[in-house]
A and B are shown apart, each in its own frame.
Chain A
Amino acid sequence: MGSYLIRRLLIGIPVLIGVTLINFLIINLAPGSPADLYLTPTSTSADVVRVEAELGLDQPIFVQYFHWLVRLFHGDLGVSFQNRAPVTELLAERLGPTLLLMGTSLVVAYLIAVPIGILAARKKNSPTDYTVVGAAFLGISVPHFFLGLVLIYVFALELGWLPTGNMITLGRGGGFADRVNHLILPVAVLATATAANMTRYVRSSMIDAFGQDYIRTAKAKGLGLSTITNKHALRNALIPVVTVIGIDLSALIGGAIVTEQIFQWPGIGLLTIQSIGARDYSVLMGINLIAAVAVFGANLLTDIAYAVVDPRVAYA
C-alpha cells in the first residue's frame, strides 16, 4: 500500500510537469505578449526590444518556461492584460462563489443519487427502475444552458419565485435567505448532470453487488434486504462512486462555466467568459492551470481512494 502510494505520487510528477508545459505552450500560442503591457502606441521598436529583453522574452523558449515555472512556484501567475491586476488576486476574488456553487451541487447530487440509485437497483426492472433510468438519461442528455434557460423561464420569469441570476439581490440583498434563493437555480442546473451520472453508477454497481456470491450468502443467512444493502452491498458499491467524483470535477468545471454565464454568477466561470471576451490570455492561463491542477489532484485522490477502498488495486 505504502509503496503503491509513493509510486502513484512519483508518476504524478512528470504528469504535473506536462500540465504546466502544455499550459505554457498555449500561452505562447495565444496572441498578445506580456511586453504589450509596458508599451504604449508611441513606443519605438527600440523600446520593444528593450522591454522584451527586460522580461526575458528574447531568450530561448525553454529558458522562458523555466523562469515562468520559478515565478509559478512563488505564486506569481502574471498580470491581467485587461486591468493589470495580478492574476492570483482576480482568481482569489472569484474562487469563493465557484466553490460554493460546485460544492453545493456536488452535495445535492450525492444526496439525490445515492438513495435513488439504491432504490432503482433494489427494484430492478420495475416501473420505478425504468422511471429512474429514463430520468437519468434525460439528465445526462440535457445541455446546461438549455436547462438553465428553461428554469429561468419557468421559475423566475413566469412564476416569479426565484431571481434570474447573480449571487445576491443588488442593493439590498446579502442575507442568508436571499443567498439561498439565488443559489437554488444554478445548483439545480449544475447538480442535474452529476446526479444523473452518479445515479447510473450507483444503480449499476449495486445491481452488480447484489449479484455477488457474498450477498447471496447473506440472504441465505436470513439477513433482511435493508441490512444487506447497508452493511454489505453499499460499501462495495462505493468504489465506482469514488470514481465519478474524480471524473466529474472536469465535467463540473465545464458545467460551471456555462451555468455561471447564464446566471451571471460571479465566479471563476464567469471570469473565464469575460476574459475570453477580452482576450485576456494571462488570466485564462491562470484559470486553466489552477483548474488542471485541481483535476489532476482529484484524479490522484481518486486513485488513492480506490486503493484504500479496494486493496487489490495496490497490487495490480
Chain B
Amino acid sequence: MWKFIVRRIIITLPQILLLSLFVFLLAQLMPGDALTGLVDPNLDPAQIALQRERLGLNNPWYVQYYDWITSALQGDLGQSFRYKMDVTDIIAQRLVNTFWLSLLTLIFTYMIAIPLGITSGRFNDTFRDQMIVGYTYVGFATPLFIFALLLLWLLGFNFGWFPTGGSVQPGLTPGTLDYVLSKLHHLILPALSMALITTVSTVQYLRSEIIDTKQKEFILTARAKGASESRVYNRHIFRNSLLPIAALFGFEITGLIGGTVFIERIYSYPGMGLLLLESISQRDYSVVVAVVLLFGIASIIGALLSDIILSLVDPRIRIK
C-alpha cells in the first residue's frame, strides 16, 4: 500500500521536472527576455549589454535553467513588467479567486451528481431516469463556453439575478459580511454553469455503477436478511458505488483547470485563467510562464491524487 504511494510520488517528481524544462524552453522561444520590458529603450546599448551579462542572460541555457528553477523553488518567479510587481504576488492574489471558484464548482458538481445519479440508478428505465439520461446526453455534447454564455445571457442579463462580471462589488471593505456575501453572489453563476456541464460524466458513472451493484449477490443477501429497501440503497449500494466516484476526483481537478480559463473569460472573473489570457495579449511573458507551470503542476497532482485514491479503492492496481 505505502509502497505503491511512494513509488507513484517518485514518478511524479521527474514529471514535474520535465514539465518545468518544457515550460522553460517555451519561455526561451518567446520574443524578448526578462530585461526587455524593464529598461528604458533609450538607454545606451553598452549599458544594456552590461546588465544582460550581470543578470546571466548570456549564459548557456542549462545554466539559465538551473538559475531559474532554483529561484522558482524559493518562490521567486521573476518580475511582471506590466504590473511592476513580483509574479509571485500577482499569482497569490489571483490564485485565491480561482481557488474559491473551483471549490464551489466541485461542491455544486457533487451536489448535482449524487442525487441525480442515485435516482437514475435506483429507478432505472423509468420516466425520471429517462429525464436524467436525457440531461446527461445533452450535457455531454454542449461545449462549456457556449453553455456559460447562454446562462450569463439568460440569468445575468435578461433576468438580472446575478452580477455579470468581476469577483466582488466595488466599494465594500474586505472582512465585512456584505463583502463575503457579494463575493458569493459573484461566484454562484460561474460555478453553477461549470458544474452543470462537468457533472454529467459523474452522473453517468454513478448511474451505471449503481445498476451494476444492484445485481450483486451481497445485495441479495442484505435483502434476504430483511434489510429495508432504503437501508439497502443508502448503506449497501450507495457506499459501494461511491468508491469509484471518489477516484474520479483527481480527474475532476484536471478538468477544472481548462474550464476556469473559459469561465473566467466569460464572466470576467479575475482569476488565474483570465490572468493568463491578459498576460499573453500584453506580452507579459514572465507571468505566462509562471501560470502555465502552476497549471501544469496542478494537473500532474490531480492525476497523482486519482491514482492514489484508485489504489486505495481497488487493490488490483497496487500489485502492478
Q: Do A and B come from one complex?
A: no
> Which residues of B does A touch, CB under 8 Å?
none
Residues of A bordering B, CB below 8 Å:
none
